[in-house]
Structure 1
Amino acid sequence: MGRRIMEWAARSDYMGGIPRKMVITAVGGLAKAVVSLLNSTTVHNADTLLRLVRSRPNGVPLVTVSNHMSTMDDPFLWGFKGFPSTDANLARWVLAAEDICFKNSVFSYFFRLGKCIPITRGGGIYQEHMNEALERLSEGSWLHTFPEGKVYQEDAPIRRLKWGAASLIARAPVTPIVLPIVHTGFEQVMPEKFYRGKRPPFPLWNKRIKIIVGEPMELDLPEMRRMATSLSRNTSHSTLGWPSTCPGGLDEAAQKHLYSAISEKIQNVMERLRMFAKSFSKSEDQNLCKHK
């Protein structure tokens, strides 16, 4: 088993949970200030997200997936009015880039307290911290992921998704509820190239943020596994040394078909949400012009 970065600081019982509560309360308060006070935020279908965060069936994990418009999408995404962003018990776990959030011991400690799981980009879907993410799902926790794998600030279709989120969905002991989310506006609150090609030192204000929450996705995983197994018999794959996965004990070729199929379904739904967000924005702009 590989080394897990400061896993002890991520435990809920570490120092009675007080450091975690302090960090999440502070960060959640900042998100509230930026998203609910300093900027204009519209959320579509917020009730679905709130219901699944607060009262989904006991033991059933939640996986939320979203596009990635800025380095501050998380925690800002959870700062909208009515969301329990300062509640440490309800807060999400999130996959976070090791090279950004865990580049020194101070950062590592802070982000671990904030329920972040370090992921090495390019490290593959079977790296050690993915096992940690699976453990959180097996406990029925909420995990947020950015399956595009990096920040994209231009207005463009959803990119081909990395397979990490799909592999977690497929390998979780209890099949998670999968909820897609698409947002716009955070690229203006925290632009990548604000001054001399750098981000601003603090979030900008007076921007328009839109968060579109989709509906829980229906993934027939038994049927998708069967299809992946069938397709894998007719194709050849280079091997990466992946282990057989449970449930199903799929070989590597079948896993690739399965993760690709899950990712493609999620990507298609996210793209539909993105297009809805664009039409939603246009209708809002038209209504604004009528009232001027």
Structure 2
Amino acid sequence: MHGLNRVQVYGLEKLHEALLHRPKDKPLITVSNHVASVDDSFVIASLLPPSVLMDADNQRWTLCATDRCFKNPVTSAFFPSVKGLPMSRGDGIYQKGMDMATSKLNRGGWVHIFPEGRCSRDGGKTLGSPKRGVGRLVLDTDNIPMVVPLVHTGLQDIMPTGANLPRIGKAVIVVVGDPLDFEDVLNMEESQHVTRGHLYDAVSSRIGHTLQELKLQADRLAPEQSGRLHELGQQNSERAANILQLIDWESLGVTPEVSPDQFSSTKKDSHFQQEPHLKNTGEHLNISLAYEGGIMSRMRCLVDPSELMGFAAKGLFINCRLSGGCQEDTPTRGPGPLKVRKVMMPTTATSS
């Protein structure tokens, strides 16, 4: 999330305070919107401090749908190992998975839950109505848990519906809200004799309203961050193109093929860019690095261009030596006297 994509978090200190400094026996519930199947793993991991990320005992528990996460022996073995609890759709709030989650909270643990109960059907544009189950988790624990809401946007671009592999070079916005207090809801039960079901609904409604407010904030921030990402990508592309122009390709014996101008633009619906060629000492430079679906195109917004070119150049010369393609006479040592082998410079950089 932080290396191949960009994550901008607002209010992160609120979550870290809850994770690191809440009372020992105080349970924690985090609630968020549900956009993609990787919401829990990708977003939560991007928010954790290293001390929590590397400590399995302090990781979150989460509810996983049995029809998706426990449908065969492999997934049934995997998800419990990453602290997933089975949740059967349609079996109500008094089922085994909910009881297990309550038990974890009673021990002061951390449970992450999606109040909507399922992934968004419109790519995260709207929030679904919160289910009653989150109300039960809040009210049926021995100690009222700390509830921290958060909303994210942009993950639908990393793992869109139907995708098998996550995409890179995207921006994600996460907004963490203030912890929610539900003491007044408990007082309603004692003073007004409200039924337990109505209390569950009151908790769920408050959480849903808070998530809606956070989503409005995230949606306002998303265009701004997207613009910054695009501007940074353009700057890096221009720097990379300038570096390419400064390289004396002829001295390296390299005949480029596609313009480094392609570093500065992308085109989603074509395999390769068709851009005007940059000129260097009267010759066209044509180095192909900007295929939209390829790793080089996406890395251009993520890696400092000078580092990228240094890495590429190093790889070029290492490859030359390993394949016997260097122009100079290269001394080598064998079991006998010092020997010299004659090797030739490749005519193109395609294999590199």
Range of TM-score over shorter length = 0.7 to 0.9
> Pairwise CA RMSD of aligned residues?
2.1
Q: Which runs of 4+ in 1 moved over 4 A?
A: 285-292
Q: Are the counterparts in 2 of residues 228 and 258 from structure 1 also a CA contact under 8 Å? A: no
Question: Separation in 2 of the partners of 1:177 and 1:122?
Answer: 27
The secondary structure found in structure 1 opposite 2:45 is coil
CA deviation vs aligned residue, 1:2-44 (integer Å, no higher than 9, x gap): xxxxxxxxxxxxxxxxxxxxxxxxxxxxxxxxx1111111111
The secondary structure found in structure 2 opposite 1:94 is strand
Is 1:112 aligned with 2:112? no
The residue that corresponds to 1:36 in the other structure is 2
The residue that corresponds to 2:208 in the other structure is 267
The secondary structure found in structure 2 opposite 1:37 is coil
Q: Out of 120, 131, 138, which is 1:169 matched to?
A: 138
* Number of equivalent positions: 229
Change (3 A) 1:227 1:122: farther
The structural deviation recorded for 1:83 is 2.8
Question: Separation in 1 of the partners of 2:139 and 2:78?
Answer: 30
Q: Identity of aligned pairs, percent?
A: 34
The structural deviation recorded for 1:50 is 1.5
**Matches for 1:196-275 after TM superposition, within 5 Å:** 199-220=162-183, 221-226=185-190, 229-230=193-194, 254-275=195-216
The structural deviation recorded for 1:157 is 3.4
Q: Between Structure 1 and Structure 2, whose CA radius of gyration is higher?
A: 2
Change (3 A) 1:42 1:136: same
The residue that corresponds to 2:128 in the other structure is 159
Q: Are the counterparts in 2 of residues 36 and 81 from structure 1 also a CA contact under 8 Å? A: no
TM-score norm. by structure 1 comes to 0.73
Question: Separation in 2 of the partners of 1:127 and 1:77?
Answer: 27
Q: Out of 153, 159, 184, which is 2:153 matched to?
A: 184
Is 1:278 aligned with 2:219? yes
Q: Are the counterparts in 1 of residues 34 and 114 from structure 2 also a CA contact under 8 Å? A: yes
The structural deviation recorded for 1:228 is 6.5
CA deviation vs aligned residue, 1:72-97 (integer Å, no higher than 9, x gap): 00100123266333321221000111
Relative contact order: is structure 1 or structure 2 higher (C-alpha 8 Å, sep ≥ 6)? 1
The residue that corresponds to 1:150 in the other structure is 118
Indicate the larger mover: 104-113 or 278-287: 278-287
The structural deviation recorded for 1:52 is 1.2
The secondary structure found in structure 1 opposite 2:9 is strand
Q: Tell me which amino acid in the other structure corresponds to 1:149.
A: G
The structural deviation recorded for 1:100 is 0.7
Question: Separation in 2 of the partners of 1:125 and 1:261?
Answer: 15
Q: Tell me which amino acid in the other structure corresponds to 1:178.
A: V
The residue that corresponds to 1:61 in the other structure is 27
The residue that corresponds to 1:50 in the other structure is 16
Is 1:134 aligned with 2:102? yes
The residue that corresponds to 2:350 in the other structure is none
Change (3 A) 1:130 1:155: closer
The secondary structure found in structure 1 opposite 2:57 is coil
TM-score norm. by structure 2 comes to 0.61
Q: List runs of 5+ in structure 1 lacking aligned partners.
A: 1-34, 193-198, 231-253
Question: Separation in 2 of the partners of 1:143 and 1:122?
Answer: 20
Question: Separation in 1 of the partners of 2:48 and 2:201?
Answer: 35
Is 1:100 aligned with 2:68? yes
